[in-house]
Amino acid sequence: MATFTLPSLFILLSLLSVAHSGSIGINYGRIANNLPSPAQVVQLLKTQGVNRIKLYDTDSNVLTALSGSNISVTVALPNEQLSDAAEKQSFTDSWVQSNILTYYPKTLIESIAVGNEVFVDPKNTTKFLVPAMKNVYASLVKYGVAESIKVSSPVALSALGNSYPSSAGSFKPDLVEPVIKPMLSFLKQTGSYLMVNIYPFFAYAANTDTISLDYALFKDNKGVTDPNNGLVYKSLFEAQIDAVYAALKAVGFGDVAMAVSETGWPSKGDENEAGAGADNAAAYNGNLVRRVLTGSGTPLKPNEPLDVFLFALFNENQKPGPTSERNYGLFYPNEQKVYDITLTKDGLGNGPTMNNGSKSTVVTAPEPALEASKVGNTWCVANEKAAREKLQAALDYACGEGGADCRPIQQGATCYDPDTLEAHASYAFNSYYQKNTRGVSTCDFSGAAYVVTQHPKYGSCKFPTGY
């Protein structure tokens, strides 16, 4: 039996503690024409305590802004460059020189995502993936940075042919020999990890008759028992991760580590997108952050830390597809939170939290509230203690991109008087709040507003209850 001195025992316990802690990062997508500058984004990340991000390219302005920030970044070689990267190491040599060595190590590039969801790329680039990964790695070795920069590739969960029950997880047979095994062999040989994009939202939206919303959102639920091994799952997210672990084991690579390179929940969606909404997005992401930063691993691998990148930093107004695609952001382009969740372990202990994982912003009614409300009705009003600059910025957002009906507070209209910033902001905030079905944290505006339970009334202006 081994014995430990007190110092060595302390070190061992410290290492075990680190081994069981997960990490939260954010995907910084930029398919939009209204985003803040990269320098502003870096400051936003710092204020939120975010120290890991993932990009979809190697944009010079972004990587320059990240220099000296101590924010670790995953960069990407896009799908359209896979064929060149696969065919010529001279291409990857040049790419690494221009896109990595120009910025590293002042910009903390920790990994390179070679392609993105290549198996579902309509341009059929799968055959180029592993050769491209090998050439990128060879270039990193050539320039002496392969030990500190990992090479991987994000895989969609659709690469699995079976994901239920988790213990029966398996890759699609047509992918196994041509690409899955060679890729996993490369990851194992280089000490890297598999990146997987996991979205319980998609599974829930397609199977609302069989999947509990609480199970998808990490809320209290009876759980799902795997009939093959008896493991009980309390969240769809963990069940999906373990399906990937089972698939890795089935092809002989059960010791390859994994990171969740994308996961998230949209705050808006089309009518046929079941579950999309701000309440559910706050619940999913808020509870996920808590789960990752305060919990252990999954039922199948309880000692493996959960490394997760949320999708995404901003709503991106130029993304194609359904409404949900443009509404995965944690922040609006004006840097206002879409809903209020914390992203750090320290923040989890600050203030009350609800079962959906978001901070409560409900406070007592202000003085202008004169009229008793109907049971269950709530309104949103300006926080009179907020700085005027913050109120004005929030008012501009609500009446602009936020889509609030601000016609009644225009000069000469019914709610123009009293002509004060607080009164006008309150009307605009409430319009936004009601239009968004009084969703959680749609009355926050970074502390410039709060919810009241009595009908506010300024002069003769009555605030609408709903739209």
Are both 337 and 384 inside the same structural domain?
no
* Mean pLDDT, residues 440-446: 77
What pLDDT does residue 109 have?
98
Domain-embedded: residue 69: no
Are both 403 and 340 inside the same structural domain?
no
Mean pLDDT of all residues in the chain?
A: 88
Instruction: Work out how many domains the chain is built from and give that number.
Output: 2
Of residues 64 and 401, more confidence is placed in: 64
Query: Is 413's pLDDT higher than 80?
Result: yes
Total-model pTM: 0.73
What pLDDT does residue 349 have?
66
Of residues 420 and 196, more confidence is placed in: 196
* Mean pLDDT, residues 246-262: 98
Catalytic positions, written as ranges: 117, 262
Neighbours of 12 (CB within 10 A): 11
Point out the least confidently predicted range of 155-159, 284-288, 408-412, 440-444: 440-444
What pLDDT does residue 347 have?
83
**Which residues constitute the domain of residue 426?**
379-452
- 456 pairs with which residues across the strands? 369
Query: Is 246's pLDDT higher than 70?
Result: yes
Q: Tens digits of per-residue pLDDT, 174-208?
A: 999 999 999 999 999 999 999 999 999 999 999 99
For the chain, helix, strand, coil in percent to 5 are 40, 15, 45
Are both 168 and 277 inside the same structural domain?
yes
Are both 278 and 216 inside the same structural domain?
yes
Residue 248 CA to its chain's centroid (Å)? 25
Domain-embedded: residue 74: no
Domain-embedded: residue 110: no
Query: Is 390's pLDDT higher than 70?
Result: yes
3-state secondary structure 345-406: CHHHHCCCECCCCCECCECCCCCCEEECCCCCCCEEEECCCCCHHHHHHHHHHHHCCCCCCC
What pLDDT does residue 263 have?
98
Do residues 26 and 55 lie in contact, with contact meaning Cβ atoms separated by under 8 Å? no
Are both 236 and 293 inside the same structural domain?
yes
Are both 325 and 445 inside the same structural domain?
no
What pLDDT does residue 257 have?
96
Cis ω before 320 (30° cut-off from 0): no
Domain-embedded: residue 95: no
Query: Is 459's pLDDT higher than 80?
Result: no
The strand pair at 257-263 and 193-197 is best described as: parallel
* Mean pLDDT, residues 101-126: 96
Are both 253 and 328 inside the same structural domain?
yes
What pLDDT does residue 442 have?
81
* Mean pLDDT, residues 90-115: 98
Domain-embedded: residue 126: no
What pLDDT does residue 21 have?
67
What pLDDT does residue 466 have?
67
